[in-house]
Chain A
Amino acid sequence: MAEAPMLQVENLNVLYGDFQILWDVSMTVGAKEVVAVLGPNGSGKSTVLKAIMGLTPVRSGKIIFEGEDLTKVPTHEMVARGISMVLERRRLFGAMTVRENILLGAYHRSVNKDIASRLEWVESLFPILAERRDQIAGRMSGGEQQMVAIARSLMSRPRLLLMDEPYLGLAPKIVSQIAGIIQRINQEGISVVFNEQNVHLSFGVSHRGYLLESGRMMLTGTGEEMIHSDVIRRVYLGV
């Protein structure tokens, strides 16, 4: 590789109390790349994303983004560094309106300017949200909520977007819609890391993937390389 990748995760170990979730996990994400984190449930996919974002304390290891060590940076400073995240199961501010939720995405001082143009950009990606702006977010359907969550995370114009289980609990039609959105976001020059259990779904939009099993990195490669690997069958199906 000619230059250092955008995001480097090195030997991450994460524990909840005594319960070790991640064991020496390393990965990289390049500029304008879409990377999928794969693995059966309980393999620690979400924890990888949460650890990058600082939502889960890291016992050891390093997280380097654009040359800066972010391991100790608190979560609420991450948007200022250019990283944003869509949490698992949307996690909207359910009692607030769609517009309020989206605008909160530009809360941080470092991104709290040109709000109108940011909003315009985000609403151009999700026209339906402009129509629903005054609706209470908690009362929307799952797919719409996911769009609000993504819209919220884009308001800070991140260079890297982390998406925790973006397809979880959504109807198949909505899943393909969200996949389309991930591609759109990538076309805007934003790197995306997302996790998903289903291998096929993951490689629908990603350039590269990482496979986790029980908190350990088992495999990495392009979709083509990984799909034909025996490792993946063994991890998922036990054969």
Chain B
Amino acid sequence: MTISLFIEQIINGLIIGSMYALVGSGIALIYGTMRVLNLAHGEFYMLGGYLVFLLVVTCGVPAYLAIPIALLAAFLLGALIQRITIHYLLQREGWAFSTIAVTLGLSIFLQNSALLLFGENVQSVPYYVTGIVEFAGIRIPMQRLLILGVAILTIAVMTYVLKATRLGWAIRATSQDRDAAAVVGIPASRIYLITFGIAAALGAIAAAMMAPIYAITPWSGLPILFKGFVVVILGGLGSFPGAIVGGLLLGVVEAVGVQLTSTEWRDVIAFALMIAVIWVRPWGLFGSKS
């Protein structure tokens, strides 16, 4: 194994990890603002993938148009789902369990709706860009660099939104102290709605970028959901920056793990890492104890 191949593995890990980060950050945002564990998050990813597939492959819309449309659709779907289910449950006693249960039901429902609508065929989308970048023995296709670029852009935009916009302040304020936010005039229920939509859209971005290299099937949400869970546990449940770092870390750990053992043990490594982290630092590797 040469150094350059090792570096290539790390870069590959970071690229895939950046997608885990997007999915995980959606889970983290939802948990951070409304303390809901969204088991249907994988389905946002899956539906995002199908939307892009429908637009790009079936309708022939160029990718740069298709992806924003898919994002918008995912946003609306996420917001709708929040409004008709979570919104009501949050006002009930014992909502922590009933929200988990309802998202579980939604997950199965959406999975099988996709199955009815799109069939069980494994779908994928052609590369958005072609060509390969090669330097010092490292080969990386443009498509993968594009993924990394989009991930960086998305994270930058999200960071900007959270740090520097009215909406972002409202989201951060609501997640830190719901009452204090209400007192300064932030309507929590609308923020919840928007946060759910944004989280769904983050899943859809990941799906759109992964569509050319990962399969889209009605079941493709589940493995990515599990990855998202590992990410948020690593980063500290509810922390956006934690999820980003957790995602990248998981990507690299998996890449190195495949190198050292074999692909079949990759997910075991991920879950074992997660359980170890929960055992030692339940608040996550990067979160703070409180």
Contact = CB atoms under 8 A, between A and B. Distances in A.
**Chains A and B touch (C-beta atoms under 8 A apart):** yes
A104 B169 contact: yes
A85 B186 contact: no
A105 B179 contact: no
A77 interface: yes
B180 A76 contact: no
23 contacts: A53-B183, A55-B182, A75-B179, A75-B183, A76-B181, A76-B182, A76-B185, A78-B185, A79-B183, A79-B185, A87-B179, A93-B180, A94-B176, A95-B172, A96-B173, A104-B169, A104-B170, A104-B181, A105-B184, A107-B173, A153-B184, A156-B184, A156-B185
Interface of A: 53-55, 74-80, 84-85, 87, 91-96, 100, 103-105, 107-108, 110-112, 152-153, 155-156
Given A93-B172, A104-B173, A111 B183 contact: no
Contacts of A93: 172-173, 176-177, 180-181
Q: For B176, B180, B184, which residue has the most chain A Cβ atoms within 10 angstroms?
A: B184
Given A95-B172, A96-B172, A104-B169, A87 B180 contact: yes
Nearest to A96: B172
Given A100-B169, A107-B166, A107-B169, A75 B182 contact: yes
Interface of B: 166, 169-170, 172-173, 176-177, 179-188
Contacts of A111: 185
Contacts of B170: 104, 107
Contacts of B181: 76, 93, 104
Nearest first, the 10 closest Cβ-Cβ pairs linking A and B are A108-B185, A75-B182, A79-B185, A91-B180, A76-B187, A93-B176, A76-B182, A85-B183, A107-B185, A93-B173
B182 A103 contact: no
Interface residues of B, dominant DSSP: helix
Contacts of A53: 183
Nearest to A108: B185
Most buried by A among B166, B183, B184, B186: B183
A36 B170 CA distance: 31
Given A79-B183, A85-B183, A112-B166, 17 more contacts: A54-B182, A76-B181, A76-B182, A76-B185, A76-B186, A76-B187, A87-B180, A92-B177, A93-B177, A95-B176, A96-B172, A100-B169, A104-B173, A104-B181, A108-B186, A110-B185, A111-B185
Nearest to B170: A107
Contacts of B183: 53, 55, 75-76, 78-79, 84-85, 87, 153
A33 B150 CA distance: 57
A103 B176 contact: no
A44 B177 CA distance: 22
A79 B184 contact: yes
A152 B185 CA distance: 11
B29 to A, nearest CB: 14
A96 B188 CA distance: 18
B176 A96 contact: yes
Nearest to B169: A104
Contacts of A75: 179, 182-183
Contact of B169 (A55, A78, A103): A103
Nearest to B288: A95
B91 to A, nearest CB: 11
A113 to B, nearest CB: 13
Q: Which of A54, A93, A155 gathers the greatest number of chain B CB atoms within 10 Å?
A: A93
B170 to A, nearest CB: 7
Nearest to A138: B176
Contacts of A153: 183-184
Contacts of B172: 93, 95-96
Contacts of A55: 179, 182-183
